[in-house]
């Protein structure tokens, strides 16, 4: 019987203790995290490190076939065409967050530009991958030699439309599709 009485007493003490605990308020520390980012860079070509524009793209450039030709300039209406593409998917263009769906905006811009000029396509980085924020205008008769245009400012950040012609690179690779 003593064991049962002790168990009952222990149980009553436990209930009293737990009841008392319900009246204790525990509050954690207040965290104030402020980011004072002062980065005002609008040239967001982070993923094409090997792109090196030539200072005089109107001079003839060598072609892989041994010839030379003067690079074609970007059409004057291209900026307006790209800007007219609905920016619905622009905020979801970060591949690390949205995966394959992140290409929707870039694909839409390339498609719209291609309707007026089939020289528009994707810029191939030195790694062999397609750039996520820079499109290419094929400026020669080959797939090498292209203008680069950064169209997504603050890629994987605020992701805003931009039209930053970063120049012509005589060895830049261009592709019509990203597949």
pLDDT in tens, 93-113: 999 899 999 999 999 999 999
Q: Is the pLDDT of residue 16 over 60?
A: no
Please tell me what DSSP assigns to residue 123. Answer: E
- C-alpha angle with apex 136: 112 to 82, nearest 5 degrees? 30
pLDDT in tens, 35-91: 444 444 444 455 566 677 776 677 787 766 677 888 899 999 999 999 999 999 999
Please tell me what DSSP assigns to residue 74. Answer: P
Q: Using an 8 Å Cβ cutoff, are 103 and 178 in contact? A: yes
Q: Is the pLDDT of residue 160 over 60?
A: yes
Q: Residue 161 class from Cβ within 10 Å (0-12 exposed, 13-18 middle, 19+ buried)?
A: middle
- Reference 46, options 121, 173, 156, 143; nearest CA is 156
What pLDDT was estimated at residue 6? Answer: 66
Distance, in Å, from the CA atom of 155 to the CA atom of 87, rounded to the nearest integer, reads 14
């Amino acid at each position: 019987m003593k064991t049962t009485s002790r168990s009952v007493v222990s149980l009553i003490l436990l209930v009293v203790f737990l009841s008392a605990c319900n009246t204790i308020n525990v509050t954690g520390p207040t965290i104030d995290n402020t980011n004072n980012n002062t980065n005002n860079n609008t040239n967001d070509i982070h993923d094409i490190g090997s792109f090196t524009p030539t200072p005089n793209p109107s001079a003839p450039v060598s072609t892989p076939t041994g010839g030379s030709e003067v690079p074609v300039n970007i059409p004057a209406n291209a900026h307006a065409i790209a800007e007219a593409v609905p920016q619905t998917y622009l905020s979801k263009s970060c591949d690390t967050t949205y995966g394959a769906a992140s290409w929707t905006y870039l694909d839409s811009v390339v498609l719209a530009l291609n309707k007026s000029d089939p020289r528009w396509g994707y810029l191939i980085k030195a790694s062999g991958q397609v750039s996520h924020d820079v499109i290419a205008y094929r400026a020669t008769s080959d797939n090498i030699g292209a203008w680069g245009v950064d169209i997504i400012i603050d890629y994987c950040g605020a992701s805003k439309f931009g039209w930053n012609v970063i120049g012509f690179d005589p060895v830049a690779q261009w592709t019509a599709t990203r597949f």
